[in-house]
Amino acid sequence: MTRATLGQNQYGKAETRVVRVVRDGATHHIKDLNVSVSLSGDMGEVHYSGSNASVLPTDTTKNTVYAFAKEYGVDSAEQFGIHLARHFVTSQETIHQARVRIEEFAWERIEHGGEGEHSFVRKGQETRLAQVTFDGVSWEVVSGLKDLTVLNSTNSEFWGYVKDEYTTLPEAYDRILATDVAARWRFNWSGEEGELPDWQESYAQTKRHILEAFAETYSLSLQQTLYAMGARVVEHRPEIDEIRFSLPNKHHFLVDLKPFGLKNDNEVYFAADRPYGLIEATILRDGAEARIPVDLTNL
Ligand SMILES: O=c1[nH]c(=O)c2[nH]c(=O)[nH]c2[nH]1
């Protein structure tokens, strides 16, 4: 009887999303990685007979990523990858090769006038948006942005909420708050050429107010932060009457490192991509009419 032969094979956990926070007093540093581990070695039997005797579980490789983030920190993706690859090959007889691929997401600090250095914006441009409507008589100009990703590594809490028989969420007194800001704002421009807003300056300042309000608000909920961002825009930009936000709550869960004898002092987080909370609201200048559609994807 001919037997089919197993060729090249590898296995591991792909895309472990780990955020490592280093707290140097009020100054925080973050590293944000997507780590994929691929192991190969004596893996004939698991494929041929189903014996798992040579298999280090992929779940373990994920845990190792989190534990090493705590123990060794993340100086660079390369150094972190070296620690991991060496560990798998030297600690397990059945594993002869480890390949660790890492994507690193780059962040920069949000410059602002408030206290603390724990507010970050993802590097790279957000997408700027504009919609102009004219019916021969009146004008409507709505501007906006999407994919402005921001993170506060402290000054965010969430507690005191309604609890029913399905509520399991633990109250949080120091959590990460992160979101991809999508916003649209409506100008009150009447159409008079002499009263044209400076569109470039208006966009730059509105974005600045959104970032500063995010950084400077001590948050008890993403809803409160949303309101603070919108109120700040309406209060500082007289040309804007209305602003609507759609904010995904990009959850960062503290990893339980106790099984590995390690304490997680708000340092190592699992960055979940879905499901996510979705917080949406319009903030209006007093007396202004709401005209931006509820569903921003329709704009
Ligand atoms: O800022 C938050 N607002 C919520 O409404 C909510 N709900 C939840 O589970 N976590 C959070 N966080």
Q: For residue 125, which amino acid is it?
A: Q
pLDDT averaged over every residue in the chain? 97
Record the pTM. 0.96
Q: Do the beta carbons of residue 181 and residue 210 sit within 8 Å?
A: yes
CB 229 within 8 A of CB 145: no
Which phi-psi region, left, alpha or beta, contains residue 194 (left: φ > 0; alpha: ψ -120 to 50)? alpha
Q: What's the CA-to-centroid distance between 222 and ligand 1, angstroms?
A: 7
Total Cβ atoms within 10 A of residue 199: 14
Query: 232 near 169, Cβ under 8 Å?
Result: no
Q: Which CATH architecture has domain 10-47+55-110+119-135?
A: Roll (3.10)
pLDDT in tens, 247-259: 999 999 999 999 9
* 158 close to ligand 1 (CB < 6 Angstrom): yes
- pLDDT for 247: 98
138-298 homologous superfamily: Urate Oxidase; (3.10.270.10)
Whether 163 is a known active-site residue: answer no
pLDDT tens for 171-193 read 999 999 999 999 999 999 999 99
**Mind listing the pLDDT tens digit for each residue in 38-88?**
999 999 999 999 999 999 999 999 999 999 999 999 999 999 999 999 999
Residue found under tokens 């007396």: 287
Tokens of 120: 């970050």
Say if residue 2's pLDDT is above 90: no
Q: Which atom of ligand 1 is nearest to the CA of 221?
A: 1
- By most ligand atoms within 8 Å of CB, the mutation choice from 150, 175, 217, 221 for ligand 1 is 221
Domain 10-47+55-110+119-135 shares a fold with domain 138-298: yes
pLDDT-derived band at 230 (thresholds 50, 70, 90) equals very high
Largest CA distance in the chain: 89
User: Residue ranges per domain, the chain?
Assistant: 10-47+55-110+119-135, 138-298
